[in-house]
Structure formats: C-alpha cells, structure tokens
C-alpha cells in the first residue's frame, strides 16, 4: 500500500492573510493565474496581492483562463510568465485555473519547448513552485498532481502525463459565498463523483478509502443546502471545500474511472459543465457495481438508494438530453482507453457502457 500527499494545506477562514509569509516564501515574483471575473469578485485575488505586498513579493496577473482550459491558453500564460520573470505560480479559482497554473508552471521552465512537451511522457517534469487557492468545491486540484487540458485541434480533453503537486494550498470558505448556485451544484457533484469513483476502483486502498469515508461524511452535512437552494452559510462552504479536498486526496491515489472518462466528450461537444457531465453517468455506473458497496456509499452520503441520488442530481444540476452521437463518442473513446477501463471494479463491456450512458 502506498500513500503520498506532498501538498501542504491550510483550511481556515482568512488563511491567505494568516499564512502570508509562507505564501510569499516561494520566490520574488508570482504569476497569478485565474479567470476573468470570480477571483476579483470574491476577494481572493485582493487577499493574495495584499499578502504578497506585505512581504515585498511582486506579482503579475494572467486572467485569461477559460472553462476547460486549452493548450493554447497555457502557452499564452507561459509566455506571460517568462516576460514577467515569474519564479512561482499561484492558481486561484476552480479546477480550470488551478490545472492551468500547473501546466504554465511546467512550461515556464521549458522556455524553448513547444506545446508538444505537455504530452511528452518521457520529458522531465520540472516546474516552478505552484500554490493553489480554490474558490469552488469540486475539483480537488489543490491536492492532486493532475492538470486536465483541452486540445482544441483534436476536440479532446484529458490529463497531461506530467505530475505536478502544489507546494501549498489555502482553503477559505468565504470565497464560495459569492459563487453562483449553478457553480456550487456542479462542483459539489464533481466532488461526489471523485469520492464514489475512488472507492469503486481497482486501485482503492485502505488509505484512499479512509479519505473517501471522511469526504462523504463532510459532503453529506451540506448537501441539503445545495439541494434546496437556501442561502449557503460559511459553515456550508467550509464543509464543501473540505469534502472536495478529501475527494482530491482520494483520486490522487486511485485516479478517476468511467464517469469522468465518459464525461469528457460531453463537455467538449456540448459545453456541459464538468461536474454535471460526470454526474450524468454516475447513477448508471453505480448500477453496474457491487450492490453492497453501492449501498454503503449511498448511505454515507445520505441517499436511501440510487433513485434518490438520481432525484438529487436532477434537482441540483438538471439532466439535460445529450445527443446520441455524443454519447456514442463517449462510449467509443472510453473503450479506446485501456487504462481507464482497468480502473473499474468489474469487467467493462460495450453493453455495460451503453447502459451507463442510458442507451
């Protein structure tokens, strides 16, 4: 059994300012990687800039990361980081900015390399230090080494082979309070999928399942607030961030399996948000797995059965109709991924994938 978690995490209110000295310790100039709006609205980028200023560390902002970040955006961020002479990278936001930050930190080191370096599994993984500050509650990227990018020219989405753990992650539920409810719903389902897919996984261990157990208990505490649309409390937000973190630690050891693998074509082809796309396949996946394990996981998250989980998904995320050709692409791409198939704890057949896809 193997357990490795090098990311140092603080999870508390005002943690960016409380740990400003440590945040500023990674270099002389930070490239802050984020999206266009949310980090400015929720106060996270102001907190980071103030913390760096207090310790004489300069910063530059690259705020062009889109949802499902592209390789082109990573290369543009790399060029900005080189021009600014940044020596560490801070990712602020959901999974997209944090994943992009890891890839940008890698490519800043490879000043003369092209984008193909991102997908060269034989190349050296040498990246600038990365700090992550999540402002959504699903990705877990703040505690994983994964960077998921979109290759626009191939109309595909997936992880790069380079493994880049953040050195430091700062989790503050205050940054979730202003997030749109659709974002909270989507990302909370991403966390739930991480938890379920990590448990129902051929790489699951006692240590990874320990994290799943903890994550489900915390996720359950605030699921009703997400479900019924009431105003989120700071306690709700901290719970959801913590659940996402536990889920991230779990998948850092097992990786995700079929719902995530099948979701990528749906996201690329229809624009469906990531967590919602994963949730689209979750109930079908659970119906294929061991009934005893499934019952345990459902109960741990507060669901009486699979139908109750499906009702919750429809109420929080909504079940859109995905065009059949897109679902067929999900099936074919998954069948073409032996590594992903090997993680499912049952013999995956084409017929099983059709059932999971609802066809």
Give residue 227's pLDDT.
74
Pairing assessment for the beta strands 148-151 and 156-159 based on DSSP bridges: antiparallel
Which residues does the chain have with pLDDT short of 70?
Answer: 228
Give residue 61's pLDDT.
98
Give residue 302's pLDDT.
95
CATH class of 8-174: alpha beta
Question: Which residues have a Cβ under 8 Å from the Cβ of 7 and sit 6 or more positions away?
Answer: 132, 142, 143, 165, 166, 167, 168, 169
Distance CA 27, CA 245 (A): 26
Give residue 193's pLDDT.
97
Contact between residue 111 and residue 134 where contact means Cβ atoms under 8 Å apart: no
Give residue 1's pLDDT.
80
Q: What is the pTM of this model?
A: 0.94
Give residue 40's pLDDT.
94
Contact between residue 301 and residue 192 where contact means Cβ atoms under 8 Å apart: yes
Domain with CATH 1.20.1090.10 in the chain: 181-356
Nearest residue to 315 (alpha-carbon basis) of 240, 231, 223, 247: 223
Distance CA 107, CA 33 (A): 14
Domain with CATH 3.40.50.1970 in the chain: 8-174
Nearest residue to 15 (alpha-carbon basis) of 178, 164, 131: 131
DSSP 211: H
Give residue 46's pLDDT.
97
Structure token pair of residue 22: 């440590």
Question: Which residues have a Cβ under 8 Å from the Cβ of 198 and sit 6 or more positions away?
Answer: 204, 208, 209, 211, 212, 247, 250, 251, 253, 254, 256
216-228: per-residue pLDDT in tens?
Answer: 999 999 888 887 6
DSSP-derived 3-state class of residue 204: coil
DSSP 165: -
181-356 homologous superfamily: Dehydroquinate synthase-like - alpha domain (1.20.1090.10)
Give residue 2's pLDDT.
81
Beta bridge partners of 25: none
Distance CA 12, CA 290 (A): 37
**Phi, psi (deg, nearest 5) at residue 31:** -95, 115
Question: Which residues have a Cβ under 8 Å from the Cβ of 118 and sit 6 or more positions away?
Answer: 71, 74, 103, 106, 107, 149, 160, 162
Place of tokens 């801070």: 90
Contact between residue 198 and residue 248 where contact means Cβ atoms under 8 Å apart: no
């Amino acid at each position: 059994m193997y357990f490795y978690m090098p990311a140092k995490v603080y999870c508390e209110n005002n943690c960016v300012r409380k740990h400003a000295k440590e945040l500023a310790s990674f270099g002389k100039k930070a490239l802050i990687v984020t999206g266009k709006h949310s980090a400015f609205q929720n106060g996270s980028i102001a907190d980071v800039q103030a913390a760096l200023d207090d310790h004489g560390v300069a910063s530059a902002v690259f705020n062009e990361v889109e949802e499902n970040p592209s390789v082109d955006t990573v290369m543009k961020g790399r060029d900005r980081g080189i021009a600014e002479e940044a020596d560490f990278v801070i990712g602020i936001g959901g999974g997209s900015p944090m994943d992009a930050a890891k890839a940008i930190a890698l490519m800043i080191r490879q000043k003369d390399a092209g984008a193909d370096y991102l997908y060269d599994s034989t190349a050296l993984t040498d990246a600038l230090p990365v700090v992550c500050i999540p402002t959504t509650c699903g990705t877990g990227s703040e505690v994983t080494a994964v960077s998921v990018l979109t290759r626009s020219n191939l109309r595909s989405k997936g992880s790069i082979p380079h493994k880049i753990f953040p050195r430091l992650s700062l989790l503050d539920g205050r940054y979730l309070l202003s997030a749109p409810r659709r974002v909270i719903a989507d990302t909370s389902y991403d966390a739930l999928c991480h938890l379920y897919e990590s448990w129902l996984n051929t790489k699951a261990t006692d240590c990874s399942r320990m994290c799943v157990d903890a994550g489900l208990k915390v996720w359950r505490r605030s699921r009703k607030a997400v479900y019924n649309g009431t105003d989120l409390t700071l306690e709700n937000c901290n719970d959801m961030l913590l659940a996402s973190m536990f889920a991230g630690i779990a998948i850092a050891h097992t990786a995700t399996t079929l719902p995530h693998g099948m979701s990528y074509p749906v996201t690329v082809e229809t624009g469906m948000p990531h967590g919602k796309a994963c949730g689209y396949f979750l109930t079908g996946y659970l119906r294929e797995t061991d009934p005893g394990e499934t019952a345990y996981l459902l109960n741990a998250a507060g669901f009486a059965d699979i139908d109750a989980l499906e009702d919750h998904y429809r109420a929080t995320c909504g079940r859109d109709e995905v065009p059949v050709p897109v679902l067929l692409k999900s099936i074919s791409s998954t069948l073409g991924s032996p590594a992903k198939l090997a993680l499912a704890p049952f013999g995956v057949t084409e017929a099983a994938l059709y059932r999971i896809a609802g066809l």
